[in-house]
Structures are given as structure tokens and as C-alpha cells.
Amino acid sequence: MQTPTLYQSASSPNSRRVRIFLAEKGIDIPLVAVDLGKGEQHTEAYRAINSRRVVPTLVLEDGTSIGEVPAIWRYLEETHPAVPLLGTTPKEQALIAMWERRVEQEGFASVMEAVRNQVPGLKERAIAGAHDYAQIPAMVDRGKLRLLNFYADLDARLQESAFVAGHAFSVADITALVTIDFAAKALGLPFSDTQLAIKRWYAEVSLRPGTGA
């Protein structure tokens, strides 16, 4: 293998977080499709790449597998520093990590909680990963409530800041955009028309060439 290869799925929001990152930085690496609908993540061949049975996974030239979106971002940022998306100064890096983590835990995870506890095909897979967990239907409404609170908090943040983590586009914007698009598609829960700061930001970031990835 000459360059790192990304195992990913077109339908997977976590894969999209990495695809947008690659596109924004102009990094061109081979993408290998893993069909989650067909259960390819559970095959022996894929388990050999990622025993936790999830995408995305970045496989390096020497065969090392890197899972977890922030770890993949970190590797790619260090190897391709141009167009920094994780910040350059210690302060920027800390603020971007803080905002991205909040968006992931309060927004992205809420959508996942609602979706994974309601989709019939995921009855025993309410949590992605190495172990199987049964759905808890009550978590659907809780996930939706958490998402609405996330939208309110994001709108307040974007009233005071051009981008989620400050003055520049970063991974915090990537996770927020992927969260919003997935919530609209999988839950039919877009942000409200009255959330004007999200509306302004969404119009701007979704027009960037990289965010169509």
C-alpha cells in the first residue's frame, strides 16, 4: 500500500466527518467502501482491519489501523499541516478541541441516541462497537430533546462567533454540519427557521466545496 487508505461508508456520518476533512485540506487518498447495510463491517475481512466493526478506519502504509474520527484527523493534520483544521497555537488547538467535543457529545451523540434506538435494523446494535446492546425505546425521545437543546445552544454560540470555535472554519464546524444534516435526514428534525445564527452559518459552510463530501 503506497498511501494511507480510508475504509468508510457513504451513509455513515462518522465517515463524512473524515471525508469533509480530507476535501477541505485537498488530500487525495484511496477510499474503500464498506457497505454497512449489507453488514460488511461484521465480516472477518473487515474485523481484521477494525475489530470494533465500525467505520471509518485509516490504514497506514505499514498496515497500522487507526480508528476514531479525532485520531484519524490528528494523524492527517500532522502529516498534512496545510489548511489547519485543528488549530495552530496551543490556545486555538484547545478551543477547537473543546468546541468539537461539545458538539460531538451534545449534538452528534444525541442524534445517534435517537436513531440507533429506533431503527428496526439496529434492534441489537443500539450502540456501534465491539459489543451488542439492545435498543431502549425511551432513549429516542430523550435523544430528540437533547438535539433540540443542542440547536438552541449552537444558535446562541453562533450569535457571538463566526464559526463554532472562533474566527476560522475547523473540525468543530465539520461535526456540527454533519450532525445537522444527519438529524434532518434520519430524524426529520432540522434546526428551526427562527434560529437565524445557525441559518447564517449553515448557508456559509454548506456552500464550501469540501463540505459536499
Ligand X SMILES: N[C@@H](CCC(=O)N[C@@H](CS)C(=O)NCC(=O)O)C(=O)O
Residues that bind ligand X in the complex, under the rule CB under 6 A: 12-14, 36, 41, 53-56, 67-69, 125, 128
CB of residue 63 to ligand X, shortest distance in Å:
19
Q: What type of residue sits at position 157?
A: R
**Closer residue to ligand X, CB minimum distance, 162 or 186:** 186
**Closer residue to ligand X, CB minimum distance, 72 or 158:** 72
Task: List the end-to-end C-alpha distance of the chain, in Å, as a whole number.
Answer: 24
**Closer residue to ligand X, CB minimum distance, 36 or 180:** 36
CB of residue 85 to ligand X, shortest distance in Å:
16
For residues 150 and 165, what is the distance between their CA atoms, to the nearest angstrom?
15
CB of residue 128 to ligand X, shortest distance in Å:
3
- In this structure, what C-alpha cell is assigned to residue 56? 471509518
CB of residue 39 to ligand X, shortest distance in Å:
8
Torsion of CA 191, 197, 199, 202, to 10 degrees: -100
CB of residue 62 to ligand X, shortest distance in Å:
21
**CB burial string 118-127: b at 16+ within 10 A, e below:** beeebeebbe
**Closer residue to ligand X, CB minimum distance, 126 or 154:** 126
**Closer residue to ligand X, CB minimum distance, 88 or 105:** 105
- In this structure, what C-alpha cell is assigned to residue 191? 434546526
CB of residue 69 to ligand X, shortest distance in Å:
4
For residues 95 and 203, what is the distance between their CA atoms, to the nearest angstrom?
23
**Closer residue to ligand X, CB minimum distance, 12 or 211:** 12
Which residues, other chains included, contact 193 with Cβ-Cβ below 8 Å and sequence gap of 6+? Answer: 199
Place of cell 441516541: 113
For residues 80 and 200, what is the distance between their CA atoms, to the nearest angstrom?
30
